[in-house]
Structure formats: structure tokens, C-alpha cells
Structure 1
């Protein structure tokens, strides 16, 4: 059984991207999703707040929520999938919960989160280094 686990870890280590920024719950992120339309391929941005993060190695996911014309839209993105072309952290928020599911019942200005100002230059520096 130990050899099987080593084999799975070896396969997963090859699929993990190292250039992704540190994503936390409460961050405002822009994720570029690669979409195939016929013979053309384009990148569609999805911008929203990270309301949950599931860490499972190569199977890690983030749930991103945005409000579109008054309707809440949530998408679950596998972080290391080939369909995720790029990921940018636009703003960090100060949150005290691991999951922000309470934002689902809020609309408008009630969904705003308190911003962290001291770490923004550090985020931008880390993104420019890659």
C-alpha cells in the first residue's frame, strides 16, 4: 500500500503548478478560465470573492462567489487544473472564518469585507516576480 501512495504522490507532484499566488479565504481574485469554442480557445475572466478553500494537494479547489445583476454566482475551481490559465489576487480581506458561507444570504453592500491594507504591496511584489 505504501508503494501505491508513493506512486500517486509522484504523479500528483508533476501536475502541481508552482507559479500560483497564495490564495486565502476572503481574497478578491480574478481567475482566467480557458474555454474552447469550436476551433478557437479564449480565456474568460471570473472575478469574485473566495468563500472557501479545500486543500487536498493536486485536488485543491477554491469556491469563488460574485454577484451578477443582483444574482449570486458561485463557481468551484480546481487550482491545478489545465483549464485555469491564470490567477490574480486583487485584494485581501480581513476575515475571521475559514468558510464565508454567510455571504450567500447577503446582498449589495452587506457583502463587503474589511480590507487588509498592509499586505497589498507584498502581494503585488510576489505576483511580479513570477
Structure 2
């Protein structure tokens, strides 16, 4: 076992989040510190990709804010992450749906899937 893996397993706290994949619509709640105050903010959007393993695992979410598309990359082991809620399960045929960025209107809809966990 290499040193990096040992340190990640021993010292990085693992949080339990529900299983999700590309095409799912999720809401991510995370903590924002502004000076001495902290508040919880959420980001709701479609998962574009999940990449990495273990301590370096990240996921990318995209949402539409008016006419502008906003993307955000969240590390899975980010200390500020509080919880993840799955709003809708989506059925897509790829693990990374970057083509989704170019779609507008009715074409940008994702079919509902009924898979478990």
C-alpha cells in the first residue's frame, strides 16, 4: 500500500452520500463562511460527470441561471459539504454528458429513470 493511500484512509474523514450518476438532478448543500458567520447555501442542477477515486473524487453539476449556464465542481471530501439530495433520477447513455451544454429548450430534457440506489 502506498503512502498517499494510507494517509487518505487514515486522516481524511469519509462522509456517506447517496449514490448518483450522470444525468441525475441533485441538490448539494454546502457551508459558506463569511467572516465569523457561516450559512448554508444550496446548488441544484444536473450531474455532468463524476471523476476520480477515493480522496480525489469530484463531481460536476450544471444549472441554468436565467439564460446563463453555471457549472460547479465539488470534491466529494470537501469539509463544507453538508448533504446531497437526489431530486430526479435521469436516464442517459454516457458517463459524461458534456453534449448537454449545447442543448436548449425541449432538447435539454433528460428522461426519468427508475433504478434503485
Q: Same fold (TM over 0.5)?
A: yes
Structure 2 Cα separation of the partners of residues 32 and 111 of structure 1: 24
Q: Which has the higher helix share?
A: 1
Q: Deviations over 1:63-122 (max 9, x none)?
A: 0000110110000000111021111111111110111100111123321100013x3xx5
Unaligned runs of 5+ residues in structure 1 are 124-130
Q: Which has the higher strand share?
A: 2
The CA RMSD over aligned residues, in Å, is 1.5
The answer as to whether partners of 1:70 and 1:107 remain within 8 angstroms in 2 is no
Higher deviation after alignment, 23-32 or 107-116: 107-116
Secondary structure at 1:90 match in 2: strand
Corresponding pairs, count: 116
Unaligned runs of 5+ residues in structure 2 are none
TM-score, normalised via structure 2 length: 0.90
Equivalence for 2:38: 41
TM-score, normalised via structure 1 length: 0.81
